[in-house]
Amino acid sequence: MKVKKNKEKQLNPFELHINHKKFTILGRKSKNEVGKPGIARSKSIQKRKKSLLLEYKLKDKSNKFVDRRIGEKNRAMTADDRVIARFTASRVKAQKKMKYNLGEEEDLTHHGQSLSTIEKFEKPISDDDSDSDDDRNGGKLAAEFVEKAHFGGGVLSRAGDGETSHRDLIDKLIAESKLRKYEKKQLKQETNELTEQLDKDWKELMPVVPTKNRGETDIEDEPPTKKKVDKNSYDILMRSLKFDRRGMASDKLKSEEEIAKEEKERLEKLESERLKRMKGIEDDGIVKHRSADDLDDGFDFGDDEIQPLAYNSEGKPLNTDLSSANEEENGLNDDFSENGDKNEDDDEMESDEEVEDDDENENDLNNDMSDLKEDDVSSNDEETNPPMNNTDKNKSSKLFAKKLKEKKVLMDEARQQLPYTFKVAELYEGFQEILEDRSIAEQTVIIERMIKVNHPSLGNDNRSNLQRLYPYLLQHLNDNSCSIDGWKILNLLAPHLYDLTQFFPEHAAKCFIEVLKEKHTDFVDSSLKQITSDMLIFLKLVPLLFPSSDYYHPVCTYAVMIASEILSQTKIKKRSDVASCLLLTTILLEYVQLSKRYIPEVVNMLRGMLLMTTVNSSISYVQQFKSNMKILTLENNETQIEWSKKLSINEIFSEKNIDCAFKLTSLYVILDLVVRFSKLCEDIPSVNEIWAPHLSIITTLKINSDEMNAQIDKTKLQLQMLNKKLEKLQTVSNRPKALRLYEPRIQKIYDGRTFKTESKEKAERSKLLHRYKREMKSAVREIRKDNSFLSKLKYHEQTKSDVERRNKVKQIYSWGANQAHEINKLAKKNKK
């Protein structure tokens, strides 16, 4: 048998179609070496019988009948078996529902109601009830109708109203139920409308009715209702709950920690932006466009200078910066608007409250401070800075807070004696009039109120008002700069100028650049080459308002240029000159304290100042210093006097001669500045060379004062500690130069066919088109085969029915013949 089967599988060679190959190619799998057309055709016919034929048979038939009765198709079952099986199935289904009703017998029912309840006859369902509780038996028929239609079969009852036929009854029923539905709908709508109206009224009423009163009325109202009807109290309670004032949805109240965290994140973001600006763009990683003719000789036509980061000369600010800056601004504006609202309220209230408010502000500020402090601590930990810095900063922040408090007291006094609103004058003279005869604290309050009243968030032309105010304030500072008052004003005005600058940074920057330009031309044109107080005030103000740590900043860079020029060209002859130079040096220290950049003019200035204190030194003179400028030299017998460790800003106005106390204080400050600057440039490779002259001058200093000697030793130690280990330079260009890479050039093997050289997209497209064509062809072929299959089928059906019909016709003819034969037979019989 097996052998036979094998034989059957062997195909007749005439039924095979062999695809001949021209070449045998190694490693290529050929799928279609032998085709079996007969088998393939039979397969496709089978497939069509299963799919197309079925569809054809079901054509034009829209529904079908599925018999799901249990055991209906099972011929092995008898009729009884089927009934039993069905019953068990229904029981099982019922059982599933009462799985957990242990021990309880099945509840028998009649008309959907359990017999047990019917037997009790406790609460017969009355007609009234059904009427009143329409909602519950919504779809049910009226009792009257039910009586008549369902049970009214009797003749007696029917005799009275014989005119109502069955049809009339039904119509009536429909009309009734429609009416009822409509009424219900109407009622519901009305209720809704009324409720809405009530809600609206209530909301309008809400702000007028104070909370306390409302509570009282509630208490008064409640007892009588309780007395009247008990069940109403529930309604009232429910309604009172329902219409109780609801708070508007708002953000979750933030905990202290969250607020602190948010603030910290904001500051971190701003700090990271600042750092980015500080560093400027590094162009090392950027691959520039290279011409095809580039000889790789490094020659470059254009100047490949690094573009300044934020605001380059082409006026293309970086996008990220822009958006972030906007955000920043927005955020700040929000803050301010809140403050503004608060302050408006305050203005209406009593001054006591205002003081409280201020206290709050103070607390806020303190909080901010502590955040910053934390921030610093953490960053210090990361950077492993020496602990000195840390304590310094803590100290400074404490001092900060103390100062704030002192200032608050002063300001509060001023606040209570002044009107609340001030207009921004049209002209500077008007502005001067407002501030005339006021103390500095009062002036500050006036300006503060001016800013608050004209807050840009309050609309109008406040913005332009404040923009006008800005130069006035600068002019005010300028006018008062010739005495210590100017610095006191600056001290108090700085926060307000900061606020104003936040409103319109560009305008402020322009104002500052103009002012600085003016100061610079004043300096260049004057033959005295003296540093004046007004220059110092404005140079001092710049780093408060603009970030001096930026790699490039339109205002700060300009200010630094001017400051360093002034510092390198000013003539030092008098006491005030020395003080001004030292003050300017301190100001420049503030400019670079974050960016830690190097200012040669400052280093030279300190060197010159130190040289002025020594009698003879081998160190050469730099900048404007000459060997005949020895105004700070100390005699040993002069040192035993009282002197302070801080210079007074008043010294820059001083016309006095240089006395010993001033010399000592200056020297102390100079040494301190040397320490501070040398700390800043610790990371610069040539730090040793920069400070070597200073160190050698300091080592020759001999002063007969303990405090001074301590300071000298401290400075010496600091400078000696700057021992930077140098490694020889290894600049980037040392790396081996990579060969230029080109696109790999791959030649295609010639195999008789021509390949089009096309772009990638085009090649992809033509490939897809080719595939589409093939698919299309095969689909058409399939459809053709389907058609032939169907036509064959139809032909078969046709022939089949034709044969049938012919047979029938034949049969009929035979019947007819038979009949005729019978008739003929009968006729013959009759004739006989």
Q: How far is the CB of 358 from another protein (least distance, A)?
A: 13
Q: Closer CB to another protein, residue 177 or residue 307?
A: 307
- Could you write out the DSSP letters of every residue in 430-465? HHHHHHTT--HHHHHHHHHHHHHHT-GGG-TTHHHH
Q: How far is the CB of 629 from another protein (least distance, A)?
A: 13
Q: Closer CB to another protein, residue 45 or residue 281?
A: 281
**In angstroms, how far is CA 708 from the centroid of its own chain?**
56
State the Cα angle at 714 between 709 and 716, rounded to 5°. 95
| DSSP, res 287 | P
Q: How far is the CB of 442 from another protein (least distance, A)?
A: 18
Q: How far is the CB of 307 from another protein (least distance, A)?
A: 10
Q: How far is the CB of 346 from another protein (least distance, A)?
A: 20
- In this structure, what token pair is assigned to residue 570? 């000013």
- In this structure, what token pair is assigned to residue 238? 């429910």
Q: How far is the CB of 292 from another protein (least distance, A)?
A: 19
Whether residue 652 contacts residue 580, with contact meaning beta carbons closer than 8 Å, is answered with: yes
Nearest Cα residue to 532 out of 490, 491, 583? 583
Give the span between the Cα atoms of 170 and 275, in whole angstroms: 88
Tell me the β-bridge partners of 18: 34
- 314 Cβ contact partners less than 8 Å away, ≥ 6 residues apart: 307
Q: How far is the CB of 329 from another protein (least distance, A)?
A: 9
Give the span between the Cα atoms of 444 and 496, in whole angstroms: 8
| DSSP, res 627 | T
Q: At what angle do helices 505-525 and 554-569 cross, to 10 degrees?
A: 20
Q: How far is the CB of 295 from another protein (least distance, A)?
A: 9
Q: Closer CB to another protein, residue 48 or residue 276?
A: 276
Nearest Cα residue to 489 out of 444, 531, 521? 444
Q: How far is the CB of 516 from another protein (least distance, A)?
A: 8
Q: Closer CB to another protein, residue 492 or residue 719?
A: 492
Whether residue 16 contacts residue 36, with contact meaning beta carbons closer than 8 Å, is answered with: yes
Q: Closer CB to another protein, residue 176 or residue 362?
A: 362
* Residues in the chain, total: 832
Q: How far is the CB of 437 from another protein (least distance, A)?
A: 22
- In this structure, what token pair is assigned to residue 754? 């021509």
The two beta strands, 17-18 and 34-35, are antiparallel
Q: How far is the CB of 699 from another protein (least distance, A)?
A: 17
Instruction: For 614, list phi and psi in degrees, rounded to 5.
Output: -105, 155
Q: How far is the CB of 304 from another protein (least distance, A)?
A: 8
CA distances from 816 to 158, 659, 804, 821, 828 (A): 64, 159, 18, 8, 18
Q: Closer CB to another protein, residue 124 or residue 298?
A: 298
Q: Closer CB to another protein, residue 56 or residue 400?
A: 400
Torsion of CA 800, 801, 804, 805, to 10 degrees: -150
**In angstroms, how far is CA 796 from the centroid of its own chain?**
74
Q: Closer CB to another protein, residue 367 or residue 586?
A: 586
Q: Closer CB to another protein, residue 422 or residue 487?
A: 487
CA distances from 524 to 518, 521, 529, 557 (A): 10, 5, 7, 18
Strands (E), 11-131: 17-18, 34-35, 109-110, 113-114
Q: How far is the CB of 315 from another protein (least distance, A)?
A: 5
Secondary structure in 3-state letters for 571-594: CCCCHHHHHHHHHHHHHHHHHHCC
Q: How far is the CB of 657 from another protein (least distance, A)?
A: 17
Q: Closer CB to another protein, residue 432 or residue 586?
A: 586
Q: Closer CB to another protein, residue 565 or residue 786?
A: 565
- In this structure, what token pair is assigned to residue 228? 């009247």
Q: Closer CB to another protein, residue 556 or residue 698?
A: 556
Q: Closer CB to another protein, residue 38 or residue 505?
A: 505
Q: DSSP 3-state assignment of 696?
A: helix
Nearest Cα residue to 375 out of 402, 397, 400, 405? 397
The neighbour count for residue 572, using CB atoms within 10 Å, is 22
Q: Closer CB to another protein, residue 77 or residue 318?
A: 318
